[in-house]
């Protein structure tokens, strides 16, 4: 005995998520000038990989990234979860303008924590005896 509607239980073709709209929804609240947000999305049917490029004014960078990168990491997590449900792998690239010029630069996209440039120094023997 099934309560399912037969028209709803039929298999429909998979629909690719609207990544550009999702990213806009997630990023715009952080922006002073949301109209300047640019989102470009490429989906490779062969590799099932999604490349999403986001560009916004440099002044908004601090708010979009958040303290310790928490905001942008949350956006990436949501995008990756949605992509995974569609059988895709997602990668988010962030661009920001430098000042008011037309050139953009790519932000570092390492999910690894920054490495230390030098290990902490031990006090020398002469300092520890004093």
* 76-109 confidence digits (pLDDT tens): 999 999 999 999 999 999 987 654 433 334 444 4
Residue count of the chain: 130
Instruction: Report the C-alpha gap between 59 and 74 in whole angstroms.
Output: 20
What is the C-alpha separation between 31 and 36, in angstroms, rounded? 9
Which fold is adopted by the domain 16-98?
A: GMP Synthetase; Chain A, domain 3 (3.30.300)
Rounded to two decimals, what is the model's pTM? Answer: 0.64
The token pair that represents 103 in the structure block: 């050139």
Q: Which of 34, 40, 36, 52 minimizes the C-alpha distance to 102? A: 36
**How many other CB atoms are found less than 10 A from the CB of residue 94?**
22
Q: Write the pLDDT tens digit of every residue in 21-56.
A: 999 999 999 999 999 999 999 999 899 999 999 999
């Amino acid at each position: 005995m099934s309560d399912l509607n037969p028209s709803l239980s039929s298999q429909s073709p998979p629909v690719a998520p609207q990544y550009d709209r999702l990213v806009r929804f997630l990023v715009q609240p952080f922006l002073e000038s949301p109209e300047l947000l640019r989102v470009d999305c490429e989906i490779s049917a062969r590799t099932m990989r999604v490349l999403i490029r986001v560009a916004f004014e440099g002044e908004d960078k601090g708010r979009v990234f958040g303290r310790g990168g928490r905001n942008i990491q949350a956006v990436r997590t949501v995008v990756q979860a949605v992509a995974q449900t569609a059988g895709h792998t997602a990668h988010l690239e962030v661009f920001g303008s430098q000042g008011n010029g037309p050139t953009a630069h790519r932000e570092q996209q390492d999910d690894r924590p920054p490495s230390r440039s030098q290990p902490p120094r031990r006090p020398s023997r002469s300092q520890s005896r004093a």
